[in-house]
Amino acid sequence: MDRGNCSSLTEFILVGITNNPRMKVTLFILFLHIYVNNLLGNLGMIILIRMDFQLHIPMYFFLSHRSFCDLCYSTAVGPKMLVDIFDKDKSIPFFGCALQFFIACTFVDSECILLAVMALDRYKAISSPLLYTAHMSSRLCSLLVAGVYLVGLADALIHTTLTFRLCFCGSNEIDHFFCIPMYFFLSHRSFCDLCYSTAVGPKMLVDIFGKDKSIPFFGCALQFFIACTFVDSECILLVVMALDCYKAISRPLLYTAHMSSRLCSLLVAGVYLVGLADALIHTTLTFRLCFCEDNEIEFCDIPPILLLSCSETQINELAIFTTF
Question: What tens digit of pLDDT does each residue of 35-58 get?
Answer: 888 888 888 888 888 887 777 888
Closest CA to 153 of 38, 69, 235, 246: 69
> DSSP 3-state assignment of 17?
coil
Contact (Cβ atoms closer than 8 angstroms) between residue 316 and residue 126: yes
Answer yes or no: is pLDDT of 102 > 80. yes
Q: Output the pLDDT for position 273.
A: 94
Query: Under 8 Å CB-to-CB from 279, ≥6 apart: which residues?
Result: 224, 225, 226, 228, 229, 232
- When pLDDT is averaged across residues 21-41 and rounded to a whole number, the result is 82
* CA distance between the termini of the chain: 44
pLDDT at 185: 81
- Residue 280's pLDDT band, with cuts at 50, 70 and 90, is very high
Q: What residue ranges define each of the domains in the chain, with the CATH number in brackets?
A: 9-180 (1.20.1070.10), 181-324 (1.20.1070.10)
- The Cα–Cα gap between 110 and 238 comes to 11
Residue 10 has pLDDT above 70, yes or no: yes
pLDDT greater than 60 at residue 101: yes
What pLDDT is stored for residue 127 in this prediction? Answer: 74
Give the confidence band of 12 by pLDDT, cuts at 50, 70, 90: confident
Return phi, psi of residue 284, to 5°.
Answer: -65, -45
> Which of residues 231 and 6 earns the better pLDDT score?
231
Report pLDDT for 23.
Answer: 79
- What is the per-residue DSSP string for 262-288? HHHHHHHHHHHHHHHHHHHHHHHHHHT
Tell me which residue of 141, 105, 89, 151 sits closest to 120, measured CA to CA: 141
Q: Mean pLDDT over residues 307-312, rounded?
A: 76
Helix 94-127 with 217-250: angle, nearest 10 deg:
140
Model pLDDT, residue 153: 93
Q: Which of 271, 270, 193 is nearest to 226 (CA)?
A: 193
Lowest mean pLDDT among 147-151, 205-209, 230-234, 261-265: 205-209
Q: Per-residue pLDDT tens for 137-161?
A: 889 999 999 999 999 999 899 988 8
- As beta bridge partners, residue 284 has none
Give tens-digit pLDDT for 160-190.
888 888 777 767 776 655 555 566 787 788 7
**pLDDT at residue 270 in the model:** 93
164 and 10 Cβ atoms separated by less than 8 Å: no
Is the pLDDT confidence value at 252 over 80? no
Dihedrals phi, psi of 259, to nearest 5 degrees: -100, 65
- pLDDT recorded at residue 225: 92
Rounded to an integer, what distance in angstroms lies between the CA atom of residue 152 and that of residue 163? 16
State how far the Cα of 107 lies from the Cα of 115, in Å rounded to an integer.
Answer: 12
Q: How confident is the model at residue 274, as a pLDDT? A: 92
Task: Provide the pLDDT for residue 142.
Answer: 93
| More confident position, 55 or 106 | 106
pLDDT at res. 183: 65
Q: Are strands 173-174 and 11-14 parallel, antiparallel or unpaired?
A: parallel
The pTM assigned to this predicted structure is: 0.63
